[in-house]
Amino acid sequence: MILPPATLGMLGGGQLGRFFVAAAHELGYPVWVLDPDPHSPAGLIADRHLVAGYDDYPVLDELAQGCTAISTEFENVPAGSLDYLAKFVLVRPAAAAVSVCQNRIAEKEFLRRHHLPIADFIAVHSEHDLRAAPLSLFPAILKVARFGYDGKGQAVVAGRDEAIAAFQHFKGETCVLEQKLALGSEISVVLARDEDGQVKSFPSAENSHRKGILDVSLVPARLSPMLRAEAAELAEKIAAGLGYIGTLAVEFFVVEDQLVVNEMAPRPHNSGHYTLDACLTSQYEQQVRALCGLPLGDPRAHSAAAMVNLLGDIWYETGPAGTRYREPDWSRLHAFPGLKLHLYGKHHARHGRKMGHFTVVDEDPEKARAVALAARTAIGIVDAP
């Protein structure tokens, strides 16, 4: 076990890293954060913030010398940097596991090798691959293989011509072309796995998106207990196949009461924010525990929950004089019973930027959902969830 006052390292300074720092502090660990943004949310509360790129090797040396163990909060940290750090210090999850999740082709091929349910797909390296794509694959979604998130780098295409046009729009980047499914719903499972292979899974969340970004998560997911159990089993199989140590999220499509794996995230997940307020142990505390070799905590939910993302859009108010930037009226949220507000400390709001979230907890799942949707409207989110 790695025990306090050992110093932990975090690659990435976003809100997921910020919650990791808070969880580590509560357990007695100082944390150093590496992130190139001097205003990063995690860096603001870290014991030390190294403002540098993830491939700055002198700074990586400094991080390795100052920390006993290092983790990451997002999958696009260069795998080479993780490999380099692992020569000197404990790194969890390992670069090999993270690299699978960094590339959609590698991810899809991993899932197919492990006989997990996925949508039909082909790898796209050139226009020739699209011209040869089977017609049965359409309508489809063309996705860039790397660095796509929150709906970015994706295009729905009806046929080969649209796919080629989208590929050209993506400047010929390597992509996957994936069959578009008739979705009933989308869910996610967040779990933690330790070095002995023990797994603790949180209750699955039912997710809805707005403009490609997670909007609302409901827990428990409105699925049969059998499907929820199957989702947890599939997620655990993925973690075992990766040899994963840490917190992992797996997203699923539900198609006619069948589960289809969408993608994995080698880190805590936006849809797991609810664990801060509704579970005995949060996904961030589990990340600390798995990193340090502590026994994993109890992931049980003590309440139902509904989580709502707060994007930068609500900082902008449109009126007769035009659009103005102002702080939302948070008193509108605090008026709702059972609501827990979390703001990330980001220094400027932009449209589509994740600025915070709130979670409503209640014994009754439907009441939690109703209160959350009412609060969502009250703070100025007008689109239907």
Question: Which residues are part of a known binding site?
Answer: 104, 143, 148-154, 178-181, 186, 209, 262-263
Give Cα 62 to chain centroid, integer Å.
Answer: 28
Ranges assigned E (strand) in the chain: 8-11, 31-34, 48-50, 69-72, 90-91, 121-124, 140-144, 154-157, 175-179, 185-193, 199-201, 205-210, 213-219, 246-255, 258-265, 304-311, 316-319, 322-325, 339-343, 354-362
Could you tell me if 249 and 269 are in contact, meaning their C-beta atoms sit under 8 angstroms apart? Answer: yes
Could you tell me if 361 and 305 are in contact, meaning their C-beta atoms sit under 8 angstroms apart? Answer: yes
- Which residue bears the tokens 């919650």? 19
The two structure tokens encoding residue 88: 């000197």
Could you tell me if 190 and 249 are in contact, meaning their C-beta atoms sit under 8 angstroms apart? Answer: yes
3-state helix/strand/coil string of 277-345:
HHECCCHHHHHHHHHHCCCCCCCCECCEEEEEEEEHHHHEEEECCEEEECCCCCHHHHCCCCEEEEECC
Q: Is 380 left (phi over 0), alpha (psi -120 to 50) or beta?
A: left
State phi, psi for 19 to the nearest 5 degrees.
Answer: -70, -35
Q: At what angle do helices 225-242 and 95-102 cross, to 10 degrees?
A: 120
Could you tell me if 339 and 359 are in contact, meaning their C-beta atoms sit under 8 angstroms apart? Answer: yes
State phi, psi for 3 to the nearest 5 degrees.
Answer: -115, 155
- Residues belonging to the chain: 385
The two structure tokens encoding residue 334: 């605090």
Say which residues have a Cβ less than 8 Å from residue 241's Cβ, sequence separation at least 6: 110, 114
CA gap 157, 138 in Å, rounded: 7
Feature table: binding site for ATP: 104, 143, 148-154, 178-181, 186, 209, 262-263
